[in-house]
Amino acid sequence: MSHPTTSMTAQGTGEPDSPQAWAPAAQTIGLLTALGVLMVGQMYTVLALLHPMATALGTTPGQATWTATAFGFAYAAGFLLAGPLSDRYGSRAVITTGLVAATAATLAVGAAPDLTWAVALRIVQGLTAATFAPSALSYVVHHLAPQRRGTALTCITSGMFAAAVIMQIGAQAVAAGPGWRAVFWISAALMTLSVLPARRVLRPTLRHGSGGGLRQAFAAMPRLLGRPRLVALYLSTVALMSAFVAVYTAVAIAGPPGIAGNSSASLALRASALPALVAVPVLAPVLQRLAAPLRAVLAFVLAALAVAAGSFLGGHTVALAIALLLFVAAVAAAAPAVVETINASAPHARGAAVALYGCSMFIGASLGPQLTGALTGLGFAGILRVVAATLALGVLLALPAFHDQRTD
């Protein structure tokens, strides 16, 4: 092996016990952030392809949205499998195997002959793509030095949020040239090319003995769900992600004049949030000075205030863009803070704990469009006020973890 072997703690967490054993931070963060954009972005690519897909598959754009919904729920379910598998077999093995499986599934989606096949294959793609995120987050807390983990989690989760914008822009550009099927073929090629770097940069997770077997890894999940404060954090994540997707769905279908129904303007408004997704990782060392539970609560508060302010801005596009910039920055700061808090609460079942986090994250993302659709009659402002109330509920759900930190 090209990497030095690492000694493990007596508790069997798979975490190195000496500074010399930590994995190189810069290479690891760069690789996992790029893979996060590619893999999580597969959920969002179809949002820019609904019209050409519908034409080719003989259906309507409305029916074609099932390709997004099917992927989202399959992705959430896949987290429940990937986390325990990561605990049992190691993050590198799950990531590389998942890349190979996702390559095959993504190629198949690009060859789908009709909507039924497209939806079925997107389910398979969602399940295989879901192997990445929980394994990557678990790898960070097992293999990076403690002082680097917060920055790594912030970069990786920011990449996952940025994927919603980056992959839509890329998909729209490719669809205008080679066509929508080429989006999936190019994605599959990038996944294949990522396997070798993943094997070279990532280290295997070594463990003493059998680690209790895969059954024990899965058994950790119901135990975690029996802890009310952890469940509250998972529910806060559902609130956060449903709000994130609901806001941008509202911009697209119920926004102020000049944006609603205008795909180019909507995409430009989404792209305007990219500076926030760059700034938050850059500011990670400063944010790390605050304890993770406190960061989570403050980020939820900022998100709620930004959305509430946006609901009063009407047709002021620039002011709305600033409010959404602050909202996205808050979401990008909240997500890694919640992950850190969850990891600290479940040190002996981190893969399972992060898997449940990812599952709740994409359940929220899948519910976001339905939330906006149900509230369309309230108009853009009304939708944003309900979303702000949802985020306020997220604050209340995150508060018990902050209380635990204060009393430790």
Per-residue pLDDT reduced to its tens digit, 215-262: 666 677 788 888 888 888 899 999 998 898 888 777 766 767 667 656
**Chain segment 89-138, per-residue pLDDT in tens:** 888 999 999 999 999 999 999 999 999 999 999 999 999 999 998 888 88
Residue 331 has pLDDT above 70, yes or no: yes
Rounded distance, CA 109 to CA 61, Å?
A: 17
- Range of weakest confidence among 20-34, 261-275, 284-298: 261-275
Cβ-contact 14, 206 below 8 angstroms: yes
**Chain segment 31-51, per-residue pLDDT in tens:** 999 999 999 999 888 877 888
Q: Work out the percent of the chain whose per-residue pLDDT is above 70.
A: 85
- Alpha-carbon distances, residue 338 vs 16, 34, 128, 345 (angstroms): 23, 21, 24, 11
In a 13 Å sphere around the CA of 95, the CA atoms on its Cβ side amount to: 32
Least Cα distance to 340 among 293, 303, 298 occurs for 293
Cβ atoms < 10 Å from Cβ of 406:
10
Structure tokens at 229: 């404060």
DSSP state string for 361-395? HHHHHHHHHHHHHHTGGGHHHHHHHHHHHHHHHHH
Measured between alpha carbons, how far apart are the two ends of the chain, in Å? 41
Rounded distance, CA 353 to CA 343, Å?
A: 7
Cβ-contact 152, 140 below 8 angstroms: yes
Residue where the block lists tokens 């209790």: 212
Report, as an integer, the average pLDDT of 208-213: 45
**Chain segment 59-98, per-residue pLDDT in tens:** 887 788 788 888 988 988 887 887 778 777 888 999 999 9
Instruction: Name, of 8-12, 67-71, 178-182, the range with top average pLDDT.
Output: 178-182
Cβ-contact 247, 387 below 8 angstroms: yes
Degrees, nearest 5: CA angle 324-329-334: 125
C-alpha 184 chain-centroid distance: 19
Confidence label for 180 from pLDDT (cuts 50, 70 and 90): very high
pLDDT value for 103 = 97
**Chain segment 350-401, per-residue pLDDT in tens:** 667 777 887 888 888 878 877 877 887 888 889 999 999 999 998 898 888 7
